[in-house]
Amino acid sequence: MPEAFSGSFQDFQAVTPNARFSDWLAARAEPYWSEATDHAFTHAIGDGSVPDEAYVRYLIEDYTFITDLASTLGYLVAKAPTMRSKSRLSGFLALLTSEENDYFLRSFEALGFPAATYETAAQGPVTRAFADLLLTSSGKGTYAEGLACLLCAEWCYLTWGLREAGQPRPEKFYLAEWIDLHAVEGFESFVNWIREEMDAVGAALPPAQQESLAKIFSKMSALEVAFFETAWTGEACLPEVNPEKV
């Protein structure tokens, strides 16, 4: 796994020509960033080898998380500095509460999982920690802090989604569609916009605030790893994050 870059954004620019602020966030978040985007669970989705019980665990936790992600987007819509930014975020919120929600319902039915179970499921400890960081950063924090969380979550999925989209699709529709949801042009365009927004907002901040964003992004990356690991193993795996990175 790549080693983390420990310096400031200005240091990163000095050694990496034309460096983007979002690239610096990812570099600061290593090895968590690479562990999340290259996790065995994501590869198993792509090649169809993920056991149904592991995928059900994953879907349940993700389904319980959707409401919190929608709330996060609502906070960011309210705090976005321009109408264009509000429009992009609200458009994704509309997609999240329609097409993606429909995917969950059809997938649970195909997996033989009753509505009474997933509709009353409580978040596990990793999902709670993940949701708490998102909601705290977007609700009580600044626009930039909430955006850093959203960027990590969505960019991670785009990264492995595009990788697996380049391979033959698995036969099970709920695996193939999950890949497609995170590799389609519309999603890629939205994530690229988040990166551009983060690049513009983050690069303009003073170094102390940039450092705060790097720590948030690193913690989000570690929680992404824990989220996949919990689904993969069936055991709650709260991350052991390097205290210097959070």
Q: What is the C-alpha to C-alpha distance for residues 74 and 68, in angstroms, rounded to an integer? A: 10
Instruction: Answer whether residue 243 shows pLDDT above 50.
Output: no
Q: What is the C-alpha to C-alpha distance for residues 77 and 87, in angstroms, rounded to an integer? A: 8
CATH number of 50-240: 1.20.910.10
Which range, of 134-148, 206-220, 226-240, averages the lowest pLDDT?
Answer: 226-240
pLDDT tens per residue across span 30-53? 999 999 999 999 999 999 999 999
Residue extents of the structural domains in the chain: 50-240
- Mean of the per-residue pLDDT values of the chain: 93
* Nearby residues of 112 by Cβ (< 8 Å), 6 or more positions away: none
pLDDT tens per residue across span 84-138? 999 999 999 998 888 778 899 999 999 998 888 888 999 999 999 999 999 999 9
Q: What is the C-alpha to C-alpha distance for residues 144 and 70, in angstroms, rounded to an integer? A: 17
pLDDT tens per residue across span 45-82? 999 999 999 999 999 999 999 999 999 999 999 999 99
Instruction: Answer whether residue 239 shows pLDDT above 90.
Output: no
Two structure tokens written together for 224: 């992404």
Q: What is the C-alpha to C-alpha distance for residues 164 and 139, in angstroms, rounded to an integer? A: 33
Average pLDDT on 231-246 reads: 70
Residue-level pLDDT at 242: 53
**At 213, is the pLDDT very low, low, confident or very high (cuts 50, 70, 90)?**
very high
**At 23, is the pLDDT very low, low, confident or very high (cuts 50, 70, 90)?**
very high
Residue-level pLDDT at 236: 77
Average pLDDT on 185-207 reads: 97
Q: What is the C-alpha to C-alpha distance for residues 146 and 29, in angstroms, rounded to an integer? A: 16
175 or 102: which leads in pLDDT: 175
